[in-house]
Amino acid sequence: MASERIALTSYDIPEQHIDKRSFESLEQSFASFCVILANFSGIVLARVLSGCLKRKILCYLVEFALIVVPTVLFVTVASDFSVHFVALMMVLLLLYLLRACPLSRAKSRAQFQLGSRPFVLTLMRSMTHLITAVCILAIDFASFYRPYRKSRLFGAQLMDTGIGLFVVTMGLVSRRPRNCSDLRRNIWRSALPLILLGIARVVAILIVGYGQDEHEYGRHLNAFFTLGLTKLFGSLCSFLPRSDTQLLPLGLGVLACHQLALTFGGVSEYVMNEDLPRSTFVSANREGLFSLPGFVSIYLLSICLSRWLVAQISLSYREIVGKLRSLLIMSVLCWLLMAGSAYAVGIARVTCNLGYVSWMMFLITSMLCISIFIFHLVINDDADTLGDIESLEKSPLIAAGAAHSKDKGGLLVICNSLNMNGLVFFLLANILTGGVNIFLQPENRSDSASVFILLAYMLLVTSVAHLLYKRGIRIA
């Protein structure tokens, strides 16, 4: 450990670490945002069309065609058209606002029911699962749009959003533990299972001989470890404040200390130095270990954002417009902070620095703002129409029954299915990804074959989640 402390502060900074790729990172963040907006646009189209359907199986097929298929195409053979699709959807939205005047009808409503677990929060969760599930397999095909792959050092590519948005959505559906019983529940039911999954993945990789890029989380750690340890330390930190509002200064304080250590403590160079040997557990897993404070700050800020959003379940028109105005201001501030950070410290997923945290908060605040505006003011939906999914932060082994009997219209069944069994969906996606890599040799497949395999893969994993949802079974 003594030699490691010396290495942390005394070695030369390689020239490659000086280039923060600032402007390029901002361009990449825009491209990533467009793919997320394209996925969201498909969800909006599916919501409008599935509202006319009575059978849930038809809703599922419509949603698969409008949500999953475009997502697969926009990260592979149609990657150049995601911006055009988003632009078209914005034009259609503007025309609808001018002709149908939905905002005038919204003003006449007495109350807007967001629900105790607003659908817009769980919508972010399902979008994260969908995009991540597509990308973790698509990247192994030659048809995958290579600029979307994870950045080695600095960058803001589409796949860089994965772990950050998982932490964000984990925070959005969590609550601050108010007593020791809540704290133990968070650790045993949420953190520990994720850590055990991380260990299982390490063992499986060793047995199968499947390669792992050690520059992502380290030689032994993986995304499950990051999520589990973030939940563990995030729960411990969030147990300290006496109110939800105190989570904001706590999260900002953790982020400030983290960035100071990265910039002035030599931690950033230590993590990013590719020439530094991985001779100890810490040095071998420095990416996963030294990024944890940044992810904990994202987790704390996300809980605070969620608690602020659900402070009132029922809102008047003026109150919901006030929420939208506040979210818009937050989004602009986060973007300005992200832009400034891109030039000052860079945007780096491997260290989860200030630039990366502000980017994640920009994505979530802007998408929440857009989602509330579209679903509650334009489409005029309520919590009971969309499906208000409760207690997502809890993970019982199995909970069978009519969990969604109140989902009257059967709308957005894929999104609700993923929210009900998100971990099962993600685990199945990982298992199938490994199987495809072992048996189908994706790197040798043509564009058409890769798209077909990806669609078949997504059809299988979403069908399993939908079947569990239809039967009211929640595993994890």
Per residue in 336-368, pLDDT (tens digit) is: 999 999 999 999 999 999 999 999 999 999 999
pLDDT number for residue 313: 81
Cβ 348 vs Cβ 356: under 8 Å: yes
Q: What is the mean pLDDT of residues 59-72?
A: 92
pLDDT number for residue 76: 95
Q: What is the mean pLDDT of residues 9-15?
A: 37
**55, part of any domain:** yes
Q: How confident is the model at residue 211 (pLDDT cuts 50, 70, 90)?
A: low
DSSP H helical ranges for 266-316: 267-272, 281-284, 286-290, 292-309
pLDDT number for residue 345: 94
Among 1-5, 21-25, 259-263, 347-351, where is mean pLDDT lowest?
1-5
Q: How far is the C-alpha of 229 from the C-alpha of 392, rounded, in Å?
A: 18
Q: How far is the C-alpha of 433 from the C-alpha of 70, rounded, in Å?
A: 20
For tokens 């390490």, name the residue. Answer: 202
Domain that holds residue 98: 2-391
**225, part of any domain:** yes
Among 37-51, 149-163, 451-465, where is mean pLDDT lowest?
37-51
**396, part of any domain:** no
**42, part of any domain:** yes
**449, part of any domain:** no
> In the chain, how many H helices and how many E strands?
22, 2
Q: How far is the C-alpha of 281 from the C-alpha of 138, rounded, in Å?
A: 31
What pTM did the predictor assign? 0.90
Token readout for 79 is 């990657």
What's the number of domains the chain is made of?
Answer: 1
Among 26-30, 139-143, 469-473, where is mean pLDDT lowest?
469-473
pLDDT number for residue 8: 40
How many CA atoms lie less than 13 Å away from 255 in the CB half-sphere?
Answer: 21
**474, part of any domain:** no
CA dihedral 374, 376, 378, 379 (to 10 degrees): 100
Q: How confident is the model at residue 150 (pLDDT cuts 50, 70, 90)?
A: very high
**405, part of any domain:** no
pLDDT at residue 383 tops 90: no
pLDDT number for residue 408: 41
Among 226-230, 277-281, 402-406, where is mean pLDDT lowest?
402-406
**470, part of any domain:** no
